[in-house]
Amino acid sequence: MMNKLPDFLNQSIQANICIICEGHEEYTYLNRLSLLEVWNQAYHIKLINAEGNGNIPAIYEDQFRNDSFDIVFVFCDTERKPYEQYNDIKRKISAFHDLDTGVGSIIIYANPCTMQVILSHWGDVHLTTASKKANRQIILSYTGIENYKAKKEQLEILMDQLTIENYQAMCHRVLLLKDDDTVVGSSNFRKLIEFLSSTNEKWIQEINQTLEI
């Protein structure tokens, strides 16, 4: 996607962005990227840990209505087929905006799970399940973390391994992932990268025009 981090020339951007994270893994990951300052630093980003995908729709509606943010995103897993909880999130947010479809730009997903994106910092990964037990050996091979269960101390070790350099490698790899949330091993995470790296906030206006209620 890029050979170097973008030059942040437009320091006039003052957009307030909220990202609702499904759980601790998503929250900790995005927080680490924020600390690495890989995105346009003129954006003000607030992360909210929903502590479960079932809480996402209500939190989204609350944050959208309170008018504190210029745009609100969701970052979540699809989990495994038939994607009932993930589809429920899409359905409820679409209904909130009185839309049949069209919320794909604000729901950032990974199929089957966020670890698909995280491991892309180190290699070409194609996870087929969200099961931490089933992915244990793959995670160990890339991170050196044994018996990964997303515990606090394990997340700290994992996040310490993320760098600007392997972030750039991840950016290139997620470009190759399909953007089809029904396909195992897919993700639209590249959209979030592109949005938050942009030096022009016009993309926020364009998305919000499709969400007006």
pLDDT, tens digit (0-9, with 9 covering 90-100), for 182-192: 999 999 999 99
Per-residue model confidence (pLDDT) at position 3: 38
Asked if residue 179 belongs to a domain, the reply is yes
Asked if residue 138 belongs to a domain, the reply is yes
Per-residue model confidence (pLDDT) at position 30: 98
Asked if residue 1 belongs to a domain, the reply is no
Per-residue model confidence (pLDDT) at position 145: 98
Asked if residue 39 belongs to a domain, the reply is yes
Asked if residue 187 belongs to a domain, the reply is yes
pLDDT, tens digit (0-9, with 9 covering 90-100), for 80-108: 999 999 999 999 999 999 987 778 899 99
Terminal Cα-to-Cα distance of the chain (whole angstroms): 34
Considering the chain, what is the average pLDDT of its residues? 92
Determine which of 28-32, 67-71, 170-174 has the lowest per-residue pLDDT on average.
67-71
Number of independent structural domains in the chain: 1
Tokens for 79, please give them. Answer: 């989990």
Asked if residue 97 belongs to a domain, the reply is yes
pLDDT, tens digit (0-9, with 9 covering 90-100), for 112-151: 999 999 999 999 999 999 999 999 999 999 999 999 999 9
Domain encompassing residue 92: 16-211
Place of tokens 């038939």: 82
pLDDT surpassing 80 at residue 6: no
Are 2 and 173 spatial neighbours (Cβ–Cβ below 8 Å)?
A: no
